[in-house]
Amino acid sequence: MATTRSKSSINTNHTNESNNKKARYNNTKHGNNFKREINLKNTGSAAIDKLSHVTLNDEQVSLKKKILEFISTNLDNYKDNDGTCAMFVIQGDAGTGKSVVLNALFNDIQKIAETKNLKEVEKDFPPHVIKSLEHTKNYLVVNHPEMLKLYHRISKSFRYINKSSLERPTSLINMLTKSKSKCDVVIIDEAHLLSTSKDAFKRFYGENHLQDLMSLSKVLIIVFDEKQSLRMGSFWGQTSERNGASLSTFYDALPANKKSWYYLKQQFRVVAEPDMLQWIEKISTTGEILPFPQSIKTKEKSNFDFKIWSDCGAMYEDLKEKNKQFGQCRMLATYDFPYRLDGKDYFVTCGDNFKLRWDRYTPKAITPWSERDDTIDEVGSVYTIQGFDLNYAGLILGRSVGYDKETDSIKLKPEYYDDHAGFTKKKNIKDVDLVKHKIIMNSINVLMTRGVKGMYLYAWDPELRERLLRLT
């Protein structure tokens, strides 16, 4: 549910993990066959496996090398009296492998920084990169408690990544400010979740997470997708809108030799044909309803399973069968059904035969919500599932998502969107109605890009449901 539910305190006590960190890291000299084989015996998570036990493709290997060169150059050229941070932005839609690249990159950086005998890494990295990164202090940050817990678990399987180098942005900012120190490299996963305004409740007293991190580090590596901004307090828009903050404003202010921007485009998560991907992209960004994808009609041309349902209860029963077959099949919904953080169960109700509770607040749970067996009996929100994959997603478009006959497109009804914390007005939000619409569309985009093998879709609004059913 809402970010207000994610108050889990992360256990950062450092234990002796030398027996758990049995990692074998292989990187050929030319980087064409990058592999990392790690021991997942004590972690056992599909989410961990997808982030860590992978083979990078040629584009990802090339990007990782490019970033290492960028880091090396800017650390070497950094001048204390100048104090200008360098920034490398990786932009890409959900499922384009951004976090996978970051995970591999951070392990490389820490391998050099933490290795005492640098002869051990000479075969893997150029001498100038080793020289730039030796004895450096580096961090990976993410403003998402469930993702941070995931990274903490991953660290148990990586010899060179320690919990002490994984932080929430507020914690790192406060720590560095208190010690009056700077770090060398900060990698920010899910940078679209960084706060763009003060949040005293969460002990952030600055005006913008990114602004503070730029002043406290020498090099920033940022993963960013503005279509995943979900709250007014962390809203990232465009410069022209003057709502929240704009990444391009910070980027454009840097000298040309201290910045670089890279777009990842290849879709890795959703195994669908281009027409299906376009259908999802259009309805979840502009609200346009395209014809039913031809690749789905001729099923032999697609490995992706897409169905539009007239009965939410029947959709759920079918999804449970898929869960028995594949695992990690879960119900999701837009934030249109009440929930309160008071220890009680709250329910998502659709029609006469579907009533299922929202996901329960379980901050002590180690296994991701998408992988726990009991959560097949729950409905996940955008906050529950952001950053994670499912095999099948059964998605309910709730009360805030209606239909406009005049434009033949989705018509949003923000008054029915129940995420009050997400809609809390901030002084840097100039056009509240515009931002509300963007937040809802962003949430739809996140929810529609979770299913790897398939997506089942049900619309609560009768007119929208009838229009979608006519497609089939």
pLDDT at 280: 96
* Sequence-ordered list of residues with C-beta below 8 angstroms from that of 389, at least 6 positions apart, any chain: 46, 47, 50, 269, 328, 370, 450, 452
Instruction: Provide the domain count of the chain.
Output: 2
Residues 387 and 259 in one domain: no
User: What are the angstrom distances between the C-alpha of 410 and each of 143, 281, 468?
Assistant: 30, 13, 10
Residues 249 and 323 in one domain: no
pLDDT (tens digit, 9 = 90+) per residue, 154-173? 787 777 888 899 999 999 99
Nearest Cα residue to 375 out of 393, 353, 401, 350: 393
Phi then psi dihedrals of residue 193, to 5 deg: -100, 0
Q: Residue 217 is part of a domain; what is its CATH number? A: 3.40.50.300
The range of the structural domain enclosing residue 163 comes to: 3-264
Q: Where are the alpha helices (DSSP H) in 53-144?
A: 58-77, 98-114, 127-133
Number of H helices, E strands in the chain: 14, 17
Residues 300 and 358 in one domain: yes
Residues 428 and 458 in one domain: yes
Among the candidates 240, 264, 288, a domain finishes at: 264
Nearest Cα residue to 445 out of 455, 433, 453, 434: 455
Exposed/middle/buried for 15, CB within 10 Å: 0-12, 13-18, 19+?
exposed
pLDDT at 98: 83
**DSSP-assigned letter for residue 226:** G
User: Does residue 269 belong to any structural domain of this protein?
Assistant: no
Tokens representing residue 333 in the block:
């919904």
Residues 281 and 227 in one domain: no
Among the candidates 227, 243, 264, a domain finishes at: 264
pLDDT at 41: 37
Q: The whole model's pTM is what?
A: 0.84
Angle between helix 58-77 and helix 98-114 axes, rounded to 10 deg = 50
Residues 356 and 298 in one domain: yes
Residues 309 and 215 in one domain: no
Q: Where are the alpha helices (DSSP H) in 241-394?
A: 247-252, 274-285, 294-297, 312-326, 382-385
Q: Which amino acid belongs to residue 467?
A: R
Residues 295 and 443 in one domain: yes
Residues 389 and 439 in one domain: yes
Tokens representing residue 249 in the block:
């404003």
Tokens representing residue 239 in the block:
């410069």
Name the helix (H) or strand (E) containing 288.
Answer: none
pLDDT at 304: 93
* Sequence-ordered list of residues with C-beta below 8 angstroms from that of 447, at least 6 positions apart, any chain: 332, 333, 334, 382, 385, 393, 395
Among the candidates 264, 289, 320, a domain finishes at: 264
**Three-state DSSP state, 8:** coil
Q: Mark the ranges of the chain whose per-residue pLDDT is less than 70.
A: 1-54, 81, 267-269, 299-301
